[in-house]
A and B are shown apart, each in its own frame.
Chain A
Amino acid sequence: MVKLAFCDDDLSVLNDLRVLLEQYSVKRNQIIDYIAFHSPLDLLAEIERGTRFDILFLDVLMPGENGINVAAEIRSYDSNVKIIFLTSSAEFAVQSYTVNAYYYQLKPICAESFFRLMDSVFSLCEKEQTNSLLLRCKSGITRIKSTQMEYCEVIHRTLFIHLTNGKVLESIGSMDELSKRLASCGNFLRPHRSYLVNLEYVQNLSYRAITMSCLAEIPIPRGKYNEIKNAFLEYAFQNRKVTI
């Protein structure tokens, strides 16, 4: 389910957006969860409370806070939310790149443009949601594709997610929970209660350990070797693909 918010100090704009969104929702047969904010401070408060949005429509010229600054603050919490500026002035278009905006749309927006914009941002959100995870890490909220995860280790209640590019992300959570979230992916194996391994990046398997592409060694508990070996072979033959 995609969650949307709009923020504009002009009530008539909020109303127009509401109408457009309802029309879009009907036309595409999509349920869209949305909230309208009259003031950017309310929007920020909501985000600080922990509410996550997938798409944000932001005005730029608002009394008090400028939309670009609001976006910069939001980015410190969430690097993935799609920010669309909806404004009467072209003046801030170049600046909007500094906050990694998805689009910069001039008012007034007609139904056709709105629908096209929604189609494109929606399909991006959907594409991202398959085979990727939103992780709440120390560095904020980021979306990680399952193909970027090499293996995960849990120490007490902290998950250490080792990415293929060498970076390690830290997130609070349980391995059971992470394992469940990645279950639909089919690439992940839990050889040990503290480890989750992406079978795509297994380089070698021995009685004692699984060696990953990054050369990390994942211990195999006593007696589990055969089970792990079979799971790996099944995966390799299912994909009928092997990488040397």
Chain B
Amino acid sequence: MRIAICDNLKSERQKAIEALNSVIKNFSVNEFDNGSELLESHALHPYDLIILDILMPKINGIDTAVSLRKNDTKTPIIFMSTSEEFGVQSYRVLAFDYLLKPIDKDQLKACMKRLLSQREKKKQYITVTYSGVETNILLSNIQCLESNLRKVIFTLSENREIKIIGKLTDFEQFLLKHGFCRCHKSYLVNIEHIDRIDDNMFYLTGGKTIKISRTYLQSAKKAYFDYIFTAEV
């Protein structure tokens, strides 16, 4: 779960992270000390949850939320503030919750429980046309893609292979945003299925080995290491 915390005081951000650590696992945090930077970042790569302080110089939490809500009515916002003053206004920006500082861990726990239960874990999939039938392939079932002449071979779990007419670039943009990495002119690999890596090879969970070409070596290794160090453990 990707969480953004915005508070002009570092100590407050730390307290919030500590509180989150005590009630949930499997999350990553991006810290911001002002609303504008948060908005920019969210626009590029949206967060699953935004925790906003309200009293901040330049742009306050409520106004940050107003800006956010212009383009995004879905991302949950939790306000954390020392002041009760903005309660009524918080409803106008569809806040998920409003917690008073210092944060009560039980209250945060109940809030996160409610948030998680509402978040339907949408199983991610990609839609392709397979033998004329529109087929959804669960991303977690795909080990890798290989381009071969005018077809793309999808290697699925249990090393099952299916051939789809098309080019790697047809799927690349989408897959790169969903945990895949390009390691070779002809290969796209699902990082979740990488068992291990050595000099210039990825070893996949199904036993397959994929060569990493020199052009992609640096970016492929970076993508893999980013994944291991920030992903849900």
Contact = CB atoms under 8 A, between A and B. Distances in A.
A106 B97 CA distance: 19
B133 A240 contact: yes
29 contacts: A90-B87, A91-B84, A93-B84, A93-B87, A93-B91, A93-B98, A94-B98, A95-B87, A97-B95, A97-B97, A97-B98, A100-B114, A101-B91, A103-B91, A104-B87, A104-B88, A104-B91, A106-B88, A147-B120, A148-B120, A240-B134, A241-B136, A242-B130, A242-B133, A242-B135, A242-B136, A243-B135, A243-B137, A244-B141
A100 B117 CA distance: 14
Given A93-B88, A97-B97, A244-B156, A165 B136 contact: no
B100 interface: yes
A96 interface: yes
A165 B88 CA distance: 34
Nearest to B117: A165
Contacts of A147: 120
- In which size bucket is the chain A interface? 20 to 34
Contacts of B125: 243
B24 interface: no
A109 to B, nearest CB: 13
B121 A165 contact: yes
Contacts of A93: 84, 87-88, 90-91, 98
Nearest to A93: B87
Given A93-B91, A97-B97, A148-B120, 10 more contacts: A91-B84, A92-B87, A96-B87, A147-B120, A165-B121, A241-B135, A242-B130, A243-B135, A243-B137, A243-B138
A156 B48 CA distance: 42
Interface string B80-93: 00001001101100
A241 B137 CA distance: 10
A92 B125 CA distance: 44
B137 A244 contact: yes
* Interface secondary structure of B, over-half rule: strand
Interface string A59-94: 000000000000000000000000000000011111
A92 B91 CA distance: 12
A241 B134 contact: yes
Closest 8 interchain pairs by CB?
A: A93-B87, A94-B87, A243-B136, A93-B88, A94-B84, A104-B91, A90-B88, A242-B135
B138 A244 contact: yes
A244 B135 contact: yes
Nearest to B142: A244
Contacts of A92: 87
Contacts of A106: 88
Interface in A139-169: 147-148, 165
Contacts of A98: 107
Contacts of B156: 244
Interface string B194-222: 00000000000000000000000000000
Interface in B131-152: 133-138, 141
B47 to A, nearest CB: 20
B134 to A, nearest CB: 5
B100 A94 contact: yes
A98 B121 CA distance: 24
A165 B98 CA distance: 27
Interface string B107-123: 10000001000001100
A208 to B, nearest CB: 23
Nearest to A94: B87
A92 B85 CA distance: 10
A166 B162 CA distance: 31
A71 to B, nearest CB: 14
Nearest to A106: B88
